Structure 1
């Protein structure tokens, strides 16, 4: 919760000190959350459902990209990728569990958002590997 408040305070401070020339710039939080996340509004239940759908979409993309990258690897590189993916899953789960320790419905939203963001970012990383 403190982290979110700190992020929001920094974003608010940044917004108050920027020049009018930046008025047409995208929301700085879009970089972290993504534009699609901004459509998840309404009740807590609605937001949880929306975030869950986004996470599922990116999880599918992650799994598809992982299998394709894995198929392109041989020997030690294949084992290294498997190990990295297992470690990444452990990191994601542990990192997002931190947010679950908060109080109230915001903790559920923060946990779901964490899972969505990290899954999206890992999927994009694996997809970039396919382009190399």
Structure 2
């Protein structure tokens, strides 16, 4: 089926984040950060659920390869967060925090898609 004709389901986490951002409190910098953080926490839970599903269904060799990849992804994520909080942010203003939270959400959503591919 062509991509253009595929019906896309609305992700409930994304829908909740969009509703949060549309609310008056979500219009402030701190509100935007909070909405994105809530989405990240929900996606993190989903990522763990997908990972566990993959681990249950994969053969032993694939399980070990995915386990190693996940550990490296988590190490990358942690290193990226340290870089995100580096001194460079001092002159970027509060919008940098909003942007970084959004990038964190994008990164974990991408990782969920990668893991979900193995679970099919």
Residue of structure 2 in register with 1:127 after alignment:
116
**Structure 1, unpaired ranges of 5+:** 1-34
Shift of 1:74: 2.9
Contact 1:100 1:111 in 2 (8 A): no
Runs of 4+ displaced beyond 4 Å: 35-39
SS in 1 for 2:38: helix
- Residue 50 in structure 1 maps to residue 35 in structure 2: yes
**Structure 2, unpaired ranges of 5+:** 1-13
Shift of 1:100: 2.1
The number of residues matched between the two structures is 97
> Relative contact order (alpha carbons < 8 A, sep ≥ 6): 1 or 2 greater?
2
1:64 corresponds to which of 49, 52, 59: 49
- Residue 80 in structure 1 maps to residue 65 in structure 2: yes
Question: 1:1-132 maps to which residues of 2 (within 5 A)?
Answer: 40=21, 41-101=26-86, 102-103=89-90, 104-131=93-120
